Amino acid sequence: MKASWVADEEKSKVQMMSGADMLMEALEKEGVEVLFGYPGGAVLPIYDALYKKKIRHILTRHEQGAIHAAQGFARVTGKAGVVIATSGPGATNLVTGIADAMIDSLPLVIFTGQVATTVIGTDAFQEADIVGVTMPITKHNYQVRRVEDLPGIIQEAFHIAQSGRPGPVLVDIPKDISTALGAYAAPKHVSLPGYQPTVMPNLLQVKRLADAIATAKKPVILAGAGVLFAGAEKEILSLAEQHRIPVANTLLGLGSFPSDHPLFLGMAGMHGTYAANIALYECDLLIGIGARFDDRLTGDLNHFAQKAAVAHIDIDPAEIGKNVETLIPIVGCAKHTVSALLRESTSSGDTAEWVYHLSELKSSYPLWYKKDDKTLKPQRLLEIIHEETKGEAIVTTDVGQHQMWTAQYYGFSKPNRWVTSGGLGTMGFGFPAAIGAKIGNPELPVVAVTGDGGFQMTLQELSVLQELKLPVIIVIVNNQSLGMVRQWQEIFYEERYSQSLIPVQPDFVKLAAAYGIDGAVAGTEEEARQEFARALASNSPFLLDCRVTSDENVYPMIAPGKGIHQMIGVKP
Ligand SMILES: Cc1ncc(C[n+]2csc(CCOP(=O)(O)OP(=O)(O)O)c2C)c(N)n1
């Protein structure tokens, strides 16, 4: 075994290869099966090397489509999404997706072409300093200056993107590096002394948390996306059930806890449930797991968990204490940390009264909307989609009201089926993300819930659906407005609807038809159910234009600047 490995290494040491071929070799070594990208001058040698390879390449119709598709792929598979774009405009078209992946901790490896090293800094054709531009929005980035460095850099890039707190890593490859011949040596292992993410928790801190659990009367778990990245759903369920601790989710943490579980309070934050937000307000012990405590979750920090001892479990030490003062900081992976906690915490506090109080709040102040079976209510539409897919689908969204209604009404109960742009709030994300999600997980139905506004930001990717015949169902929640903007203008700007109403819309069904995609309009519950069922059964691309009531608002809501307990639109 050893001898053959040595022989391989010896052989590879003397092998001369172009930079582009080294890239292909490295991608194969990383087990990459699919790339999302768009060609251009600076990456021509890379695309030429790809031509000879079996790696699948999805040609999106815009680089933003490629990166959002890679994000959808990463979100449902847990593997790095891989993107290629050319220099200059190709690279800058990726910027929104890179920032989005950074804030939502999605593993991506992005290869950008660059002008030749001989002309860097001369404002050469299609030159943009993408390394400089993306410095603050990547977990790490590189510009390759020696062809021999490529295999090692690529190995590091995958390692950094996928380990610790995942994130996007960019590798900028000047054109002359892609064409240069170099001695290829397969890298052996990554050695980064300055980057050693802490996976195992400090057991003394775990013991402190176990002690706090043993005496807490009003504990609550806030489970974020870190739980999903770590695959710690079972451990969180055991922790909650063992100690009778209610659980709330962040927006991105949905799916990490069964939505029909009696201890589940729902999503917390700006459009969270009353029970979840009051739990975070009144609790005496808050256990945050893989969550960032961002402002959309906490509301005014002066009112957030003020009566609580805060324990924060996160793999990224920079998150702990960043927004919320933390009494018990635990750096570590959610799975290992909660496993250690389960071993350590043998006694529970008396939480019976607290659990009863919160379940009363849950049933007394549920999510609500005015029902009307003659029109199509957007909330009802999401319930119908849940019923028709039996809650099993992968659902992606854009940003706005439809995103919040999906989070509130779809009822996610399984991990890695919820794909949304949480931190950056990127309109145009949902549809291309659905393409990547379907490629990553072809077994499950994939539904892209989008707004009539957001869909028009990346609808060129209909061409990809057509070409690949990907059975993605696009559901446009068509309220003929930039709904979330309209809602804020209604509530906080005395109904001055400045640039948010869009009465003239394209005929979306005809638009889909132009791409050879079947579609339908739905204006009632009945039509929505029928057409959605038809779409699902067709196992083909489908666009459903849902004409929902246009003056609907997302409630409940924490008004900007208010505390988490000061919600509007709560109705018994
Ligand atoms: C790229 C981008 N531009 C602007 C915004 C600000 N914004 C947030 S929600 C929203 C309205 C979205 O409208 P639509 O896509 O129709 O969805 P709806 O809210 O109606 O469901 C806007 C403009 C954004 N989030 N992203």
Atom of ligand 1 nearest to the CA of 400: 19
pLDDT tier for residue 509 given thresholds of 50, 70 and 90? very high
User: Is any atom of ligand 1 closer than 6 Å to the C-beta of 381?
Assistant: no
What would the pLDDT profile of 514-557 be if each residue is shown by its tens digit? 999 999 999 999 999 999 999 999 999 999 999 999 999 999 99
Atom of ligand 1 nearest to the CA of 399: 9
What would the pLDDT profile of 5-38 be if each residue is shown by its tens digit? 334 555 545 689 999 999 999 999 999 999 999 9
Say how many Å lie between the CA of residue 454 and the centre of ligand 1: 6
State yes or no: pLDDT of 365 exceeds 80: yes
Q: Which residues are catalytically annotated?
A: 63, 125-126, 175, 484
User: Is any atom of ligand 1 closer than 6 Å to the C-beta of 425?
Assistant: yes
pLDDT of 346: 87
What would the pLDDT profile of 484-505 be if each residue is shown by its tens digit? 999 999 999 999 999 999 989 9
From the CA atom positions of the chain, what is the Rg in Å? Answer: 25
User: Is any atom of ligand 1 closer than 6 Å to the C-beta of 546?
Assistant: no
Structure tokens at 362: 């849950």
Best probe residue, ligand 1, of 270, 399, 480 (max atoms within 8 Å of C-beta): 399
Say how many Å lie between the CA of residue 276 and the centre of ligand 1: 25
Question: For residues 74 and 470, is the Cβ–Cβ distance under 8 A?
Answer: no
What would the pLDDT profile of 441-453 be if each residue is shown by its tens digit? 999 999 999 999 9
Q: Which residues of 242-259 are buried (b: 16+ CB within 10 A; e: fewer)?
A: ebbbbbbbbbbbbbbbbb
pLDDT of 421: 98
Say how many Å lie between the CA of residue 294 and the centre of ligand 1: 19
Closest residue to atom 9 of ligand 1, CA basis: 400
Considering the chain, what is the average pLDDT of its residues? 96
Kindly state the average pLDDT of the residues 32-60: 97
Spatial CB neighbours of 551, under 8 Å, sequence gap ≥ 6:
none
Question: For residues 94 and 64, is the Cβ–Cβ distance under 8 A?
Answer: yes
What would the pLDDT profile of 411-464 be if each residue is shown by its tens digit? 999 999 999 999 999 999 999 999 999 999 999 999 999 999 999 999 999 999
pLDDT of 14: 64
pLDDT tier for residue 194 given thresholds of 50, 70 and 90? very high
Among 34, 62, 66, 32, CA closest to 433: 66
pLDDT of 571: 86
What would the pLDDT profile of 213-223 be if each residue is shown by its tens digit? 999 999 999 99
User: What does the H/E/C string look like for 100-130?
Assistant: HHHHCCCCEEEEEEECCCCCCCCCCCCCCCH
Closest residue to atom 8 of ligand 1, CA basis: 400
Q: Within 10 Å of residue 126's Cβ, how many Cβ atoms?
A: 17
User: Is any atom of ligand 1 closer than 6 Å to the C-beta of 427?
Assistant: yes
User: Is any atom of ligand 1 closer than 6 Å to the C-beta of 394?
Assistant: no
Say how many Å lie between the CA of residue 489 and the centre of ligand 1: 13
pLDDT of 511: 98
What would the pLDDT profile of 303-352 be if each residue is shown by its tens digit? 999 999 999 999 999 999 999 999 999 999 999 999 999 999 889 999 99
pLDDT of 13: 53
What would the pLDDT profile of 463-482 be if each residue is shown by its tens digit? 999 999 999 999 999 999 99
User: Is any atom of ligand 1 closer than 6 Å to the C-beta of 451?
Assistant: yes
Kindly state the average pLDDT of the residues 157-172: 98
pLDDT of 2: 36
What would the pLDDT profile of 238-284 be if each residue is shown by its tens digit? 999 999 999 999 999 999 999 999 999 999 999 999 999 999 999 99
Say how many Å lie between the CA of residue 377 and the centre of ligand 1: 19
In the chain, the percentage of residues whose pLDDT exceeds 70 is 98
Best probe residue, ligand 1, of 427, 457, 459 (max atoms within 8 Å of C-beta): 427
Q: Which residues partner with 114 through β-bridges?
A: 174
User: Is any atom of ligand 1 closer than 6 Å to the C-beta of 268?
Assistant: no
Q: How many alpha carbons fall within 13 Å on the CB side of residue 123? A: 0
User: Is any atom of ligand 1 closer than 6 Å to the C-beta of 112?
Assistant: no
